[in-house]
């Protein structure tokens, strides 16, 4: 049973058909990598899953994206609720112009989560075991939001580096730290799906490795879709692969099968490096 | 090879001397104003000049207070009118308007910026003054319409295009990804504007306002035509007022037979310069504090 299904999805910018009839199911709680050469529609496809593609001017979307059976492009679809359910991690980390703390608290605040909702969300998080619970007497002095910020910074693997300067500006972080902050920010809205657009392309190798490892941990609880142009990255982390070429979904399948026994000629050419 | 080096040093000399020339020019203007206003400063008590409101040049009484108050009031009221309207329309143009809308609006705003100030003055006399007179009657004041309020309104209209075009440019320079990041978290457009876009461009927005302010405080012609030019401290918006700029423009070259008059006018010019400099310094301090707090969008 999959929650996210794309049906006859077509996207065009003016006369330029960026996506041509995409039909695919995105497997739950796995990392799906969308690969393919530049300009083949990877990012367009990714951004269509939480409708931020609509922020580009002159874009036209036809077809359906079904999440839990409901078409997100339907007439009474609630785009704000959708974006809470499907988080997005941009290619360049964009710290919001505020402190580290406020960056993580941004999502819960704009969705006006009550104290109880935050408690509930954190309770649910505790059972996933990704973050080890620490016992400290000081905790009682903290507000619910403090707990939430701490939790998600730990979940994104950033807590230890920033715990002493939570209230300093987020733009002072290194770019690798900023990307993990962006991850914490997305996680804090408690999405079910995380979309990531080449999340490591602006990072140094060490930071990139940190982010990749974080993804591998997170897939236990989240459905992750990642666009990458690095074939080796897809081999390292993907459970499921979608190969796009010039707006078409050429081939898709479980990673092992995809890499070891590709069916289509185009895929073979891409994997062998004949086209890039 | 030698020729190239020579050309290089000649070019350097010209760039250098141009820059120096501008700097010296500012100093010369300041020096002229200071030297020319020295006679009145040595003749009259400085605090009396500043804080007396009796302006009777023929008796040797030069109280500048009405002009200083008039200048500051007309400018502040104009900014109070202009800032909200300008910021709201800049936010609309930058965040909500379609490309087509923007391509219609921006040239209109540029056109507004290009209208000579005397034309604004005529517009003021023909439209604003009667309107203010009507408004005054509704509030039970028998005003001619030539008043502080008319001056402020016309001044506000004149600074609209400056503030709007700078503020819109500042808002548009906020990276698209930043808006996308906020919207992708499920923020509404208004939340994004309020918490992300405006916040990250606050320094630039203040600069836009300061630019408008400097223009407003020095504006002469249009204000002179509608403000009434009576040397009193206005008690209400419907009273006439007098600004430093109007004082100079109205009288220099006319009343020179009165002793000390020309020195008084140059002192007025010096005061104007100092007021502008004061506000510029204040705004610089605010700006640098903001930058220190890191609420601007550095990369």
**What SS3 string covers B187-216?**
CCHHHHHHHHHHHHCHHHHHHHHHHHHHHH
* CB proximity list for B172: less than 8 A, separation 6 or greater: B94
Contacts of B295 in chain A (CB under 8 A): 97-98, 169
Q: What local confidence, expressed as pLDDT, does residue B299 receive?
A: 34
Q: Do B185 and A81 touch (CB under 8 A)?
A: no
Closest CA to B75 of B224, B228, B207, B217: B217
Q: Do B146 and B131 contact (CB within 8 A), yes or no?
A: no
Q: Which chain A residue is nearest to residue B190, measuring alpha carbons?
A: A110
Suggest the residue from B100, B180, B184, B295 to mutate for an interface test with chain A (most A CBs closer than 10 A).
Answer: B184
A32 contacts A242 by C-beta, under 8 angstroms: yes
For chain B, positions 196-235, list CB contacts with chain A under 8 A: 196, 199-200
- Give Cβ neighbours of residue B103 (< 8 Å, ≥ 6 apart): none
CA distance to partner chain B, nearest, from residue A136 (Å):
31
- C-alpha distance from residue B5 to each of B8, B12, B42, B94 (Å): 5, 11, 54, 47
SS3 A245: strand
What does the pLDDT read at residue B58? 84
Task: Tell me the CA distances in angstroms from A28 to A31, A152, A240, A243, one per residue in order.
Answer: 8, 21, 10, 18
CA distance A24 to A40: 16
Query: Which letter does DSSP use for residue B297 in this model?
Result: -
* Residue B295 pLDDT: 46
| pLDDT number for residue A137 | 44
Q: Do B294 and A172 touch (CB under 8 A)?
A: yes
Which of A14, A110, A183 should be substituted to probe chain B, the one whose Cβ sees the most B Cβ atoms within 10 Å?
A110
Q: With a CB-CB cutoff of 8 Å, which residues 155-174 of chain A face chain B?
A: 169, 171-172
* 3 state DSSP class of B52: coil
| Residues B231 and B68: beta-carbon distance below 8 Å | no
Tokens for B76?
A: 């502040």
B297 reaches A (C-beta below 8 A): yes
Cβ contacts of A50 on chain B, cutoff 8 Å: 184
The CA distance from A84 to the nearest CA of chain B, in Å, is 5
Distance in angstroms (rounded) separating the CA atoms of residues A83 and A88 = 8
Report the sign of the C-alpha dihedral through residues B215, B220, B226, B228, in that order: positive
Residue bearing tokens 């990276």: B175
pLDDT of the residue at A24: 92
A99: left (phi over 0), alpha (psi -120 to 50) or beta: beta
| Model ipTM over 0.90 | no
Q: Please report the number of interchain residue pairs, chain A to chain B, with beta-carbon separation below 8 angstroms.
A: 82
Distance of residue B112 Cα from the nearest chain A Cα, in angstroms: 29
Structure tokens at A195: 């979309």
- Using only C-alpha atoms, chain A has a radius of gyration, in whole angstroms, of 19
Measure Cα distances from A200 to A193, A235, B12, B227 in Å: 18, 15, 45, 62
Q: Is A186 on the interface with B (CB under 8 A)?
A: yes
* Count of Cβ atoms closer than 10 Å to residue A53 Cβ: 19
Q: Are A188 and A125 in contact (CB under 8 A)?
A: no
Token pair for B256: 């020179």
Q: Which residues of chain A have pLDDT under 50?
A: 137, 139
Of B123, B131, B133, give the one whose Cα is nearest residue B155. B123
Please report the pLDDT score of residue A224 as a whole number: 94
Sheet holding A86-89, edge to edge: A86-89, A193-197, A223-227, A31-35, A240-245, A248-254
Residue-wise pLDDT for B185-215, tens only, equals 999 999 999 999 999 898 889 889 988 988 8
Find residues 111-150 of chain A whose CB sits inside 8 Å of chain B: 111
CA A158/CA B98 separation, integer angstroms: 39
Q: Which residues of A touch B98 (CB under 8 A)?
A: 57
- Ranges assigned E (strand) in A68-209: 70-71, 86-89, 193-197
B186 contact A CB<8A = yes
**Which residues in chain A are contacts of B191 at CB distance < 8 A?**
110
Whether A13 and chain B come into contact, CB under 8 Å, resolves to no
Domains in chain A: ranges and CATH = 4-95+175-266 (3.40.50.300)
pLDDT value of residue A195: 94
Rounded to whole angstroms, the Cα distance separating A194 from A126 reads 19
Contact B191 A110 (CB under 8 A): yes
CB contact under 8 A, B182 and A171: no
Query: Does B99 reach chain A within 8 Å, measured CB to CB?
Result: yes
Which of A91, A27, A1 is closest to A257 using CA atoms?
A27
Yes or no, beta carbons of B177 and A84 under 8 Å apart: no
B84 touching A, CB under 8 A?
no
List the structure tokens of B136.
């005054």
| Cβ–Cβ contact B290 with A under 8 A | no
In angstroms, rounded to a whole number, what is the distance separating the alpha carbons of residues A274 and A266? Answer: 9
Query: Taking CB atoms and an 8 Å limit, are A94 and B180 in contact across chains?
Result: yes
Residue B269 pLDDT: 94
Query: DSSP secondary-structure letter at A54?
Result: G
**A121: which 2 tokens?**
């969300």
How many Cα atoms occupy the beta-carbon half-sphere of A207 within 13 Å?
19
B173 interfacial to chain A (CB closer than 8 Å): no
Cβ pair A97:B200 closer than 8 A: yes
Contacts of B294 in chain A (CB under 8 A): 97, 169, 171-172
Chosen for mutation from B94, B97, B103, B185 (greatest number of chain A CBs closer than 10 Å) is B185
Asked if residue A119 lies in contact with residue A126, where contact means CB atoms within 8 angstroms, the answer is no
CB neighbour burial string for B200-210, b if at least 16 within 10 angstroms, e if fewer = bbbbbbbbbbb
Decide: residue A10, CB within 10 A, 0-12 exposed, 13-18 middle, 19+ buried: middle
Residues A219, A222, A225, A228, Cα dihedral to 10°: -40
Q: Nearest CA to CA, how far is A7 from chain B (Å)?
A: 22
Within 76-115 of A, beta carbons closer than 8 Å to B belong to: 80-84, 87-88, 90-92, 94, 96-98, 106-107, 110-111
- Number of CB atoms found within 10 A of residue B272's CB: 22
CB atoms B179 and A80 under 8 Å: no
Residue of B nearest to A112 (CA): B187
Q: Is the alpha carbon torsion for A76, A79, A80, A86 positive or negative?
A: positive
CB within 8 Å: B186 and A83? yes
What is the C-alpha to C-alpha distance for residues B294 and A46, in angstroms, rounded to an integer?
A: 32
Q: What is the mean pLDDT of each run of 10 residues along chain B (299 residues)?
A: 89 94 94 93 87 87 92 94 96 91 92 92 95 91 90 95 93 90 92 92 88 87 91 91 92 82 92 88 80 49
């Amino acid at each position: 049973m999959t929650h996210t299904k794309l049906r006859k999805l077509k996207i065009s910018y003016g006369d330029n058909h960026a996506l041509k009839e995409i039909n695919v199911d995105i497997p739950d709680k796995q990392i799906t990598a969308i690969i393919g050469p530049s300009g083949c529609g990877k990012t367009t496809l990714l951004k269509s899953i939480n409708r931020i593609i609509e922020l580009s001017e002159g874009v036209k979307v036809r077809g359906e994206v079904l999440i839990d059976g409901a078409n997100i492009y339907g007439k009474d679809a609630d785009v704000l609720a959708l974006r809470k359910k499907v988080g997005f991690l941009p290619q360049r980390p964009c710290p919001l112009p505020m402190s580290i703390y406020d960056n993580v608290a941004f999502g819960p605040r704009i969705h006006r989560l009550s104290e109880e909702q935050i408690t509930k969300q954190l309770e649910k998080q505790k059972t996933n075991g990704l973050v080890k619970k620490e016992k400290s007497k000081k905790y009682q002095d903290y507000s619910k939001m403090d707990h939430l910020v701490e939790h998600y910074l730990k979940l994104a693997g950033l807590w230890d580096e920033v715990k002493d300067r939570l209230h300093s500006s987020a733009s002072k972080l290194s770019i690798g730290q900023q990307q993990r902050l962006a991850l914490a920010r997305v996680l804090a809205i408690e999405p079910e799906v995380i979309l990531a657009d080449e999340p490591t392309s602006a990072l140094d190798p060490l930071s990139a490795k940190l982010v990749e490892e974080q993804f591998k941990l997170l897939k236990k609880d989240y459905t992750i879709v990642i666009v990458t142009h690095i074939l080796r990255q897809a081999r390292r982390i993907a459970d499921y692969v979608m190969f796009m070429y010039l707006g078409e979904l050429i081939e898709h399948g479980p990673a092992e099968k995809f890499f070891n026994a590709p069916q289509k000629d185009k895929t073979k050419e891409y994997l062998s490096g004949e086209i890039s | 090879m030698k020729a190239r080096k020579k050309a290089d040093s000649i070019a350097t000399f010209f760039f250098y001397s141009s820059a120096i020339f501008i700097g010296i020019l500012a100093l010369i203007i300041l020096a002229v104003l200071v030297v020319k206003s020295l006679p009145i400063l040595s003749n009259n008590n400085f605090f009396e000049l500043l804080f007396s409101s009796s302006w009777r040049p023929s008796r040797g009484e030069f109280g500048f207070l009405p002009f200083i108050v008039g200048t500051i009031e007309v400018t502040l009221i104009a900014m109070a009118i202009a800032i909200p309207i300008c910021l709201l329309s800049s936010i609309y143009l930058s965040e909500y308007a379609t490309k087509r809308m923007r391509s219609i609006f921006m040239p209109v705003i540029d056109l507004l910026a290009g209208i000579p100030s005397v034309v604004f003055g005529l517009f003021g006399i023909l439209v604003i003054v009667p309107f203010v007179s009507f408004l005054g009657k509704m509030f039970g004041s028998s005003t001619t319409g030539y008043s502080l309020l008319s001056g402020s309104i016309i001044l506000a209209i004149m600074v609209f295009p400056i503030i709007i075009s700078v503020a819109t440019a500042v808002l548009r320079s906020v990276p698209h990804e930043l808006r996308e990041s906020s919207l992708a978290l499920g923020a509404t457009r208004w939340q994004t504007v309020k918490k992300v876009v405006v916040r990250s461009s606050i320094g630039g927005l203040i600069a836009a306002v300061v630019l408008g302010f400097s223009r407003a405080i020095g504006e002469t012609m249009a204000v002179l035509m509608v403000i009434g030019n009576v040397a009193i401290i206005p008690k209400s918006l419907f009273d006439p007022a007098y600004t430093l700029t109007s004082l100079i423009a109205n009288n220099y070259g006319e009343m020179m037979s009165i002793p000390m008059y020309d020195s008084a006018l140059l002192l007025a010019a010096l005061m104007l310069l100092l007021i502008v400099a004061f506000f510029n310094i204040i705004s610089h301090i605010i700006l640098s504090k903001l930058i220190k707090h890191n609420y601007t969008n550095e990369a």
